[in-house]
Each structure stands twice: as C-alpha cells, then as structure tokens.
Amino acid sequence: MTATGTFAPKPGAAPLGRMIRAQAALETRMLLRNGEQLLLTVVIPTLLLLLFSTVDIVDTGEGEAVDFLAPGVLALAVLSTAFTGQAIATGFERRYGVLKRLGASPLPRWALMTAKTCSVLVTEVLQITLLTAIAFALGWNPHGNPLAVLLLLVLGTAAFSGLGLLMAGTLRAEATLAAANLVFLLLLVGGGVIVPLEKFPDAAQSVLALLPIAALSDGLRDVLRDGAGMPWADLGVLAAWAVLGLGAAGRFFRWE
C-alpha cells in the first residue's frame, strides 16, 4: 500500500465554543427526533393544559382555571425536560457507551454537561413558547415580575437536572426509564401541577410543599396569577434541591 497522505496525522481539538455548540445542537436534535420524549415534553403538558382548562375536572379554586393551570403546566414542562427526559436519554447514552466514547473525544466532560444543559434550555424555550401561546389562546392573564419567573425556571431546571443526572448516572438504564416516568406521574399528581395542594390533608401538604415541583409550580403561580414579588421561600427550596442534586450527581455519576 503506497502512502496517499489522506490519513497523514494532523491532530487537534476544535475550539471549545465550536465543540459545545456542535454537541448542544446534536443533543437537541436527538431529543426533538425522539417520539417518546416529545410525548413527555410537548404532548402531555399541552393536553393537560387544554383538557383541564376547558373541562371542569378538578376544582382549581377561584378565578379562571387557566390562570391556575398555566403556571403548573410550565412547571411540568421544566420537570419533563430537565428531569424525566434528561434522565432517560442520559441513562441510555451511558448504557450504550455514548458517554464513554465521547469521553475519548476532544470534548471535555464539563463541556459535554454544558452542552446538555444548553440543549435542555433550548427545549424549554420551545416548550414554554408553545404552552404560553396556547394559554393565551385560552384566555390566560398573567401578572408579576418576569425576572422572578426566569429565576424560578432556571433554579427549577438546575434542581431537576441534578436529580435526573443523579438517577441516570447511578441506576441501570431500564431502572431509570421506569423510575423517571413514575416520579413524573407522582409529581404531576402530588406536586400542585393540576391538583391544588390545598386539596391534600394538612400533614401531607407541608411535606409536599418541599418537593421541587411544588416549589416551582407554587412559586410560578404566586407570581403569574397573584402578582407576588420574589417568592423567596420557593426559590430557597429549589436552590436547596439544586445544590443537593447537582452535588450528589457530581459525586456519584458513573460514566459507564
């Protein structure tokens, strides 16, 4: 075999910014191409918003149902993408050696996690745009400080990402799939998303209020429905979950 020079070594990593952009774009495409993920992140929140706003299934208290539901469904959208979707996708990437193979590429691990976060945020922007448009069409009338909403969404994303990655990095992929869906369902029902926490017994309420989903949906509702200022208590709960979840994920995550 004569040398053609085609494969003559010329190694080098691409610039970091380019690698992260490319990785984030790939992760986002994988997510949007996956039917099960779309069911979870788009179809279910949309259906819940439409169904519960137009049909009187759950007593949502005073005022328009959509004013109660829209903040809850936004919280659910964050839960579905940052926690459930990310846990399942990352769990299977770990199982099929995708994380392992990327570990041998020039992309540093922290940059991979940054790209994953970017992909989650892009997906959330798409979800929130869609759900907000539907809520407006249903007569939603939001109030409050946009900065408080943004802060809640960012801290909620951090909290759910930490917990999702902890699960994906420690359990078998099949166990993650089952557990992440179960947790999604339980938090959907018991986290103040579509059923007001006041419907639960007092003792349960005080525990449920400490769940990240409850803090997020409650905080969003205080701001968007009731025009409250900074929901410090809810932000505090989310920050605590974020620190715990991301800390534990950083400590226990196994790449293969």
Partner 1 sequence: MHEEPAVEVHGLVKRYGSKTAVDGLDLTVATGGVTAVLGPNGAGKTTTIETCEGYRRPDAGTVRVLGLDPLADSAALRPRVGVMLQSGGIYAGARAEEMLRHTASLHAHPLDVDALIERLGLGDCGRTTYRRLSGGQQQRLSLAMAVVGRPELVFLDEPTAGLDPQARHATWALVRELRADGVTVVLTTHYMDEAEQLADDVAIVDGGKVIAQGSPEKLCRGGAENTLRFNGRPGLDLASLLKALPADSTAVEPTPGTYRVNGRVDPQLLATVTAWCAQHGVMPDRITVERHTLEDVFLELTGKELRG
- Contact positions vs partner 1 (CB under 8 A): 1-15, 18-19, 22-23, 26, 29-30, 33-34, 92-93, 96-98, 100-101, 103-108, 256
CB closer to partner 1 out of 87 and 155: 87
Q: How far is the CB of 117 from partner 1 (least distance, A)?
A: 18
CB of 246 to partner 1, least distance (A): 23
Residue appearing with tokens 């905080």: 219
CB of 222 to partner 1, least distance (A): 39
Give the residue with the Cβ less far from partner 1, 5 or 201: 5
Report the residue number, 105 or 206, with the smaller CB distance to partner 1: 105
Q: Are 99 and 93 in contact (CB under 8 A)?
A: yes
- 13 versus 51: smaller Cβ distance to partner 1: 13
CA distances, 172 to each of 159, 180, 183 (Å): 21, 12, 16
| Alpha carbons 256 and 252: distance in angstroms, whole number | 12
Q: How far is the CB of 13 from partner 1 (least distance, A)?
A: 4
Closest to 184 (Cα-Cα) out of 69, 83, 89: 83
Q: ∠ CA(71), CA(76), CA(80), 5° rounding?
A: 155
Nearer to partner 1, 11 or 201 (CB): 11
Q: Are 185 and 108 in contact (CB under 8 A)?
A: no
Question: 136: Cβ–Cβ under 8 A, 6 or more apart, which residues?
Answer: none
Q: How far is the CB of 230 from partner 1 (least distance, A)?
A: 40
Distance CA 45, CA 54 (A): 14
Task: Give the C-alpha separation, 63 to 247, whole Å.
Answer: 40
Nearest distance, CB of residue 42 and partner 1, angstroms: 17
Closest approach, Cβ 237 to partner 1, in A, equals 34
Say what the alpha-carbon torsion angle 193, 196, 198, 202 is, to the nearest 10 degrees: -30
Q: Report how far Cα 136 is from the mean position of its chain's Cα atoms.
A: 22
Q: Which is nearer to partner 1, 140 or 253 (by Cβ)?
A: 253
Q: Which is nearer to partner 1, 92 or 200 (CB)?
A: 92
